[in-house]
Each structure stands twice: as C-alpha cells, then as structure tokens.
Amino acid sequence: MTYNVQIKVMPLKDLLDPQGKAVMGGLKNLGINSVEDVRIGKHITLQIDADSEDAAKALADEASKKLLANPVMEFYEIEMIN
C-alpha cells in the first residue's frame, strides 16, 4: 500500500535562522509589523510503498536521518497523512 508521509525539517530552536530574519525584514518593508519571529524550514512529502503504516514511518525516519535532516542544525517531525 502507498502511504503519504509529511516530514517537517526546521532549524534548531537555539540557532539563528538567517533566512527567517531576512523574511521578517521583508515583511516589515511591506508594512507588516506585528510579526515577532519567523523561522523557515523544509516541508517534505513522501509517497512510500510499504506493508504497514509503521514500516512506512520507519522508512521515513531512516530517510530523514540519512539524507533529509542535518542533526547538527535541524530537527525533524514525521506525520502520517492517511
């Protein structure tokens, strides 16, 4: 069966997020001043062919560890959509 998995990869909370800071500056230039913080990460959706939801989730976890997220700078969260 095919499972849809969402992975959210975000910069660690303690680290500066320069891309987010740049976007916050852009919002202020557009007159949107009430945004206090912006953080930007990646949103990844995978379609995984697996025997069970647990197997699909385990595979997504392996993919995140090996390729999608850099644990030195990022954390990830996996969510099943089905």
> What is the spatial distance between Cα 55 and Cα 69, in angstroms, rounded to a whole number?
19
Query: To the nearest whole angstrom, how small is the minimum distance from the Cβ of residue 20 to a copy of itself?
Result: 8
Residue 68 to residues 7, 9, 31, 44, 81, Cα–Cα distance (Å): 9, 8, 35, 9, 19
CB closer to a copy of itself, 43 vs 82: 43
CB closer to a copy of itself, 34 vs 82: 34
80 near a copy of itself (CB under 8 A)? no
Q: Are 52 and 45 a contacting pair, CB within 8 Å?
A: no
CB closer to a copy of itself, 68 vs 80: 68
Neighbours of 10 (CB within 10 A): 19
46 near a copy of itself (CB under 8 A)? yes
- What residues make contact with a copy of itself under the rule CB under 8 A? 2, 8-10, 20, 23, 26-27, 30, 32, 34-50, 59, 62-63, 66-68
